[in-house]
Structure 1
Amino acid sequence: MNRTIGFIGSGNIAKAMIGGMIKTKKIDPKQIIVSNRSLSSLQEIEQTYGILTTRQNVEVARNADFLFLTTTSGMYGTVIEEIRDVIRENTILILVAVGETIEKNEKRLNRAIKIIKAMPNTPSLVGQGITGIAVNDLVTPEDLEEIKALFECFGRVEFVDESIMDVVTAIGGSSPAFTYMYIEALADGAVMYGMSRKQAYVFAAQAVLGAAKMLLETGMHPGTLKDSVCSPGGTTIESVALLEDKGFRSAVIEAIKANMEKAKKIHG
């Protein structure tokens, strides 16, 4: 892909995407330029990934074919006011902050710009991300192919209606945190009964990875896969019954609900 990829902001999600792109070797580090007000942050990311860096947002905006806004939502208005006059006609602007809609930023730009709303997640760093993407009317079918190829550098891509982007945030963007908690809890249980902490994390993480891969590759319903592990009168169904009794499913659903309610507050 012979495109310049710009990032305004270099937080965790930007680092995850940058690392994922570079690891595929489909994107040369010198195709990526990042801006940040913090010199120490820029030095760190430049040393880690070998990319181009600058403290000038305008420089990134002027040169990028794909322009990621990876600042906090509160900075979007200020940043767009700064860069809107230098964004090139065919540049694709990529919004990644919770609460930032395509319509809101079209108004800020006050000019016709190709915009996509994307919600990637941090496993993008290891090429296992999932990104939900919505686009505005200026994005062409050819653009969609390039967008898909870019985001597939670090994981799977699903095109969605922007109206469900908060759901994407909850189930894709935030859920790795829930999963890490689950892995940690599994490991704690193993350590309690004599396994080393190091081995417990390996067993728990690989079990979660394998289960997820099995679901995606077989296309089987998760309930069917769960049933296949539960032998009659066995240890697994005993554990499943206890999880149900403790409200495991309802706790997860309530976590998604809390996520959505917080997103609505951020939207204002």
Structure 2
Amino acid sequence: MNITFKKLEVAAAVAKNGSIAGAAADLALSPSGVAAALDGLEAEIGVRIFDRRPAKGVALTPAGRDIVSNAEAILQDMDSFQENAINWIHSLSGVLHVGCFATFSPLFIPPVIREFTRRHPRVTIHIHEGSGEEIEKLIQSSSVDVALTYDFVLRQNLPRESLAPAPTHVVIAADAPEARQDLLRLAQLSELPMILFDQPVSRNYFLSLFREAKLTPKILYQTQNYQTVCELVGAGLGYSLLNLRPPAEHSYHGYRLVRRPLADQYSFPSVVLSYPAGKRRSRIVEVFGTLCRQHVRKVASEFTVSGS
């Protein structure tokens, strides 16, 4: 058999228009050319597809309905194949090393990578998580192509782009008396047991808030694990200070947590994209950066802590 896509396209167009003349106009062919293609297809298959009625157009035969239905499915598959082929030709390929501050990596990185790899499956991504100091070193050494981190952990003069503010908030157990207040002050918190998030740069930042207010927090426990902070707080053992608010309102053990803004005036960090200094940014990096901007700003707007 010599059944071409053009013959299938002609049969589908004739069925759609109900006439050879209509199909000829759609396909920019002569009516005789359409009729010849139909004759050739019917001869190849050995079945009459259309009943041709002079002055009344054409009508599908019972067998013709099945044949045209299959032809339309084949043509749709071909359109999809061509679209995928074009996307493949124009998609990116290569390797991308992404750094991320470990605390908020689960919040930002998976959705961004999922969308990026859907669009560009030929790019291999390596994730490098760490503390603020570790991420800074990775950027300085060009071990990563791009990194998501806080601006206050970048003590060196590294290129950065601010994406969203990350105001500090108080996280407390839902059944704590303080949970009934809309705003909390550092002076009030300094009288309560504190669960300190003990990542090096984060620790210094949170403690600096008390120093600037000439207060001393009562640190009961300290841990470098973000989730452990949430579990200790949820168990009613104290409060903590954190920045970005995650989407979950419950800890692993089912403790309900609430978050309240600080009433004090203070400086807070921003989430930034940072890049190695003096290194040309590839198209892969630029495209990944665009997705990061969109997702980080969306998350920041959805999970801003309010006093309600």
TM category (shorter chain) comes to under 0.3
Q: Give the TM-score, by structure 1 length.
A: 0.22
More helix by share: 1
Q: Which has the larger radius of gyration?
A: 2
Structure number with greater CO (CA < 8 Å, separation at least 6) is 2
More strand by share: 2
Q: Give the TM-score, by structure 2 length.
A: 0.20
